[in-house]
């Protein structure tokens, strides 16, 4: 349950960038969330909305995008987890699924590269 402090960090950063750019309003904030980040999207959205009240970002639209980690196998195979999971038919919101993806070439369990992101990708402002 660290969504609140992460949301604080995000809004602090967004407002400072917006002010540096003489923004009158922030219309959209796009945030990338790694599939292995232990953050609940609904909770962070709730915190973000609460924190933007009475700021220049009030009423902004939040766009949360999934970041699917790349996977690599000791045999040398690598690929993105989104396609690999789609092919396997596993439920993609289950963290375990990302830790158990077998290599399509040799069948060994692959290692994830990243996926623990929480990144402010862009903001759309009015000047």
Per-residue contact flags (x/-) with another protein for residues 81 to 120, judged by CB under 8 A? --------------xx--x----------------xxxxx
Nearest distance in Å: CB 86, another protein: 21
| Rounded Cα gap, residues 88 and 104, in angstroms | 10
Assign 121 to helix, strand or coil: strand
DSSP label of 118? E
Count, residues near another protein per rule CB under 8 A: 34
Binding mask 44-83 toward another protein (x if CB under 8 A, else -) reads ----------------------------------------
The answer to whether 6 contacts another protein (rule: CB under 8 A) is yes
CA distance 40 to 56: 25
State how far the Cα of 46 lies from the Cα of 70, in Å rounded to an integer: 29
55 CB burial (10 A radius; 0-12, 13-18, 19+): middle
Residues that bind another protein (CB under 8 A): 1-2, 4-6, 9-10, 13-14, 17-18, 21, 23-24, 27, 36-39, 95-96, 99, 116-127
């Amino acid at each position: 349950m660290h969504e609140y402090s992460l949301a604080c960090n995000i809004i602090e950063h967004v407002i400072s960038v917006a002010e540096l750019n003489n923004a009158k309003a922030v219309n959209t904030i796009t945030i990338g969330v790694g599939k292995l980040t232990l953050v609940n999207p609904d909770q962070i959205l709730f915190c973000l909305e609460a924190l933007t009240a009475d700021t220049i970002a009030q009423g902004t639209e939040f766009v949360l995008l999934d970041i699917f980690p790349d996977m690599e196998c000791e045999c040398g195979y690598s690929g993105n987890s989104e396609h690999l999971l789609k092919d396997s038919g596993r439920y993609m919101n289950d963290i375990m699924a990302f830790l158990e993806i077998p290599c399509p070439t040799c069948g060994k369990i692959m290692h994830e590269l990243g996926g623990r992101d929480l990144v402010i990708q862009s903001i759309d402002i009015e000047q």
